[in-house]
Amino acid sequence: MPAFAHFRARRLQTPHPRFPFTRILPRTLAVLLLAASAILCPAASVRGVVTDATGAKVTGANVILISGGKAVASAISTADGSFQILAGVEGRFFLVVNAKSFRQLETPGFYAGRLDSVERNLVLEPEWVRESIVVTATGTPTPQSQTSAATSVLAPPDLALRSDLTSALRLMPGTVVAQDGQLGAQSSLFVRGGDSDANKILLDGVSVGDLGGQFDFGPLSTTAIERAEVYRGPDSSLYGADAASGVVSLTTPHGTTSFPSILLQGDAGSFSTSREELEVAGAHNKLDYLGAFSWLQTANNLPNDEYHMATSAANLGWQPNGSTQIRATLHYGVDATGVPSTWDFYHISDDRKQGDQDLYAGATVENQTTPDFHNRLQYGLTRKREQSRQWYPAGICIPANSCDGAADSYTGGNFYGLAVTIQGANGYSATGPALLDYSAANGSVYPNRLDVINNRDQFLYQGDYRLTPHLTLLAGFHYTNERAAEREPVYFISAAVNRTNYDYLFGAHGDFFKQRLFYTLGADAMHYQLIGNGVSPHAGLGFYALRPRRGAFSGTRLNFSFSQGVREPKLTDEFGSLYDFLEQNGGQATIQQMHVSPIQAPTARTWEGGGEQAFLSQRIIFRASYFHNEFGREIEGVGVGLVPTLLPNLTAQQQKALEATLQSEDAYSLDLNSLAFRAQGIETTVESGIGKDLFFRGGYTYLDAVVQRSFSSDNQALLEGYAPTFDGIPVGIYSPLKGARPFRRPPHTGFFTASYTQPKFTVVFTSAFASRSDDSTFLGYEDVNQGNSLVLPNRNLDWGYAKLDLGGSYKLLSWLSAYAQAENLADSRHIAPIGYPSLPFNLRAGLRIAWTKASNH
């Protein structure tokens, strides 16, 4: 530390009480010395303002500039929270900030040249609880306490022992994850009652979902994913279509150490599971780098359910000067998994395999043009390939020896599972063999292959300007070109779409009334090739009725927000349009009678209000909020068993032939915008720290969701007895009926986590809970008589569950650690939806080698 810095800090803290010039002289001297040193010895300048999470200035914070593992300079924040440090050398730096009653903060690394002026505004978190800087709420880094949005963050400790995100995403309020099977199986995220297709998934700012919002978390590895930020509620004002229910933003870590650091870990466990991972990262002058690779394989616990996944990732950054950063990121995943289907319905595994090759890449240029004006330009690339293969039909031919007839005769038998009893959590049951695969006699061809392709190129510009310390303006432009295709050669299916979309973003956020009232305003004016023009607005307010302070009641904040969102229809929605099918097959009368329309964009609207209360000098934080969502024009499937009845000009034999043709081509339903439902509820969370080592977090969500309109219910009088029932109870086979709950969204969910951290060891306990939820067996028209004897009432069909996990690590040597993760301690087989047995209790254990010559952290 330069001598004048010592002198200045000491004199400011202990001024002489009798001679005013003794307070003035050191200040003047310091200014002169700074000016002289800037002229004679050019040096990088690092300056900024230290605040707490509410925006209040923090005085007396010790800001230390670190380079090469050593402190090179420091400063003390002044009465207005500002600080300035002159570095005597150029190079890579980071800041460490300490202040009383706050957790120590370490900033990401940055490069500064001799003449650079770098601005780093620092936000300190309370010592006992965790509050994060979030981006999805406002489009710029903003403390959670200054937003009105419901946002949760999964930090590195939450992901360290996980191989995928499926279990981790359950550890926050308002979210439900449904995994259709065991490790690697399709995993869908439902946010606050919305559909799983209504979430925008971002990886380093690049949209990685399929066309129309569908995203499978099953084959997504945690390799090179440092952080997951989850925004609950529509956010189309910032992210356009598909952010109709929530946003999940994933972040790749940067290299930080001045010498290459190497992380090598490997473990083995139950069900022939093993995982190896290698990561190399570091930074040198203007460059930082990270490369990672992992390999996972497991046999799971069912026949034909082997799974393997290889993941590669890279993050390369270059800072030509202190105000400009160029960064490129890449994630490439290759996986293959068996698809045994709903084992509990058949006790025979289907002979299917699904493989994915997913490439996500981005290139970003960021420039701090002036201290108040920041620009970001990004190109994003997504290339996704999914192949589903089946080599032969599995199951038992019923009637015997009737499955080898001539193709398209529609007179033979099909392949069924064993005769089993299907038991729902609601106490109802059904017994018999269920249809597993169609035979060649009924139009199926083996082997067969289905390819689904989703490609996207996107360009994004976003600029934010700090007009005043209390007002930031934002404007942006998104251009997206999407190409998708579905090909099934044996059935001569080859369909493709090409969509070009534009979004124009506008926003503002800031505060007034002595930093008690925080506001966010935004809107997206969009033009989408399939769904046309639209506007998605957002408004939010947060008000501190009682600012944070010491005492029993140490802070009270109220918040309110309103948002609208929209979802682009999926590829399968467009290709499987009921309207198009009827239009092409003489069903114009049905279109008029049942008000069937072309596929449109589903919509979402939400109102939310709640508050946050801090206790015991912010050692405990309690949050509660009420939300009311309206989802309209949702996509509903009409089963192919019902479709032929919508064409009254067909004979009974022609209707049967049409049904078999549609089913043999994997078209189990056709789609239309006929579903509407509302989802309201209450979210609560509480978190607390005991000392600096023990941290607790828990939450509970009550969801009251009800269907307001559905095709099957609205047109029940027209179905002429085809509406399925169970002992007189109406059953929705492919979608819920009016007055019921949307499928797979339990009314009660919760979570609890506890972590204990010491220098040599860490222990983490996590748990997720869910009550029973509505669902379907989806076995309509699939018993041995092509009837509905295997459907069950939808209410509470899925089981409730408690998933308990325990993990930890212990440092054996400075460079060697042992770790273990035990999952599903209660050995619950009903975490997945009905029909899919969950992975039972399983354990992995391994060793981790972390080596670096000189670490900055």
Q: Is the pLDDT of residue 766 over 90?
A: yes
CA distances from 432 to 255, 429, 628, 742, 782 (A): 58, 10, 42, 27, 10
Tokens of 592: 């008029």
Alpha-carbon radius of gyration of the chain:
29
Specify the pairing of strand 122-124 against strand 44-52: parallel
Q: What is the pLDDT of residue 252?
A: 96
Confidence bin at 658 (pLDDT 50/70/90):
low
Residues 6+ apart with CB under 8 A from 10: none
Specify the pairing of strand 44-52 against strand 117-119: parallel
Mean pLDDT of 138-160: 86
Q: What is the pLDDT of residue 794?
A: 96
Confidence bin at 7 (pLDDT 50/70/90):
very low
Query: Per mean pLDDT, which range of 2-11, 381-390, 646-655 is the poorest?
Result: 2-11
User: Is the model's pTM score more than 0.85?
Assistant: yes
| Dihedral-angle region of residue 408 (phi above 0 means left; psi in -120 to 50 means alpha; beta otherwise) | left
Distance CA 447, CA 404 (A): 14
CA distances from 658 to 179, 488, 587, 717, 780 (A): 32, 18, 14, 23, 16
Mean pLDDT of 133-139: 81
Confidence bin at 12 (pLDDT 50/70/90):
very low
Q: Which amino acid, residue 291?
A: G
Distance CA 264, CA 712 (A): 55
Tokens of 136: 């999805």
Q: Is the pLDDT of residue 37 over 80?
A: no
Distance CA 839, CA 832 (A): 9
Confidence bin at 336 (pLDDT 50/70/90):
very high
Residues 6+ apart with CB under 8 A from 767: 751, 752, 753, 802, 803, 804, 805
Contact between residue 780 and residue 725 where contact means Cβ atoms under 8 Å apart: no
CB atoms within 10 A of CB 295: 16
Q: What is the pLDDT of residue 550?
A: 84
Q: Which amino acid, residue 594?
A: M
Q: Is the dihedral of CA 409, 412, 416, 421 positive or negative?
A: positive
Percent of the chain with pLDDT over 90: 61
Mean pLDDT of 361-386: 96
Distance CA 406, CA 414 (A): 13
The candidate with the shortest Cα–Cα distance to 837, out of 305, 302, 378, 448, is: 302
Look over the chain and give the mean of its residue pLDDT values, rounded to a whole number: 87
Contact between residue 211 and residue 240 where contact means Cβ atoms under 8 Å apart: no
**Rounded to the nearest 5°, which phi and psi values hold at 443?**
100, -5
Query: Per mean pLDDT, which range of 103-112, 343-352, 669-678, 812-821 is the poorest?
Result: 103-112
- Site of tokens 């598909």: 242
Confidence bin at 133 (pLDDT 50/70/90):
confident
CB atoms within 10 A of CB 676: 18
Confidence bin at 34 (pLDDT 50/70/90):
very low
Strand partners, 27: none
Q: What is the pLDDT of residue 104?
A: 83
Query: Per mean pLDDT, which range of 41-50, 62-71, 321-330, 337-346 is the poorest?
Result: 41-50
Query: Per mean pLDDT, which range of 185-194, 245-254, 714-723, 781-790 is the poorest?
Result: 714-723
CB atoms within 10 A of CB 364: 19
Instruction: Give the chain's end-to-end CA distance (angstroms, integer).
Output: 20
Contact between residue 228 and residue 199 where contact means Cβ atoms under 8 Å apart: no
CA 647 to chain centre: 42
Q: What is the pLDDT of residue 637?
A: 82
Q: Is the pLDDT of residue 603 over 80?
A: yes
Measured at the CA of 664, the angle between CA 663 and CA 666, to 5 degrees, comes to 65
Q: What is the pLDDT of residue 401?
A: 84
Distance CA 722, CA 641 (A): 9
**Rounded to the nearest 5°, which phi and psi values hold at 714?**
-65, -25
Q: 216 or 103, which is more confident?
A: 216
Q: Is the pLDDT of residue 69 over 90?
A: no
Distance CA 236, CA 536 (A): 6
Contact between residue 65 and residue 74 where contact means Cβ atoms under 8 Å apart: yes
Contact between residue 808 and residue 820 where contact means Cβ atoms under 8 Å apart: yes
DSSP assigned state of 126: B
Confidence bin at 3 (pLDDT 50/70/90):
very low
* DSSP 3-state of 582: helix
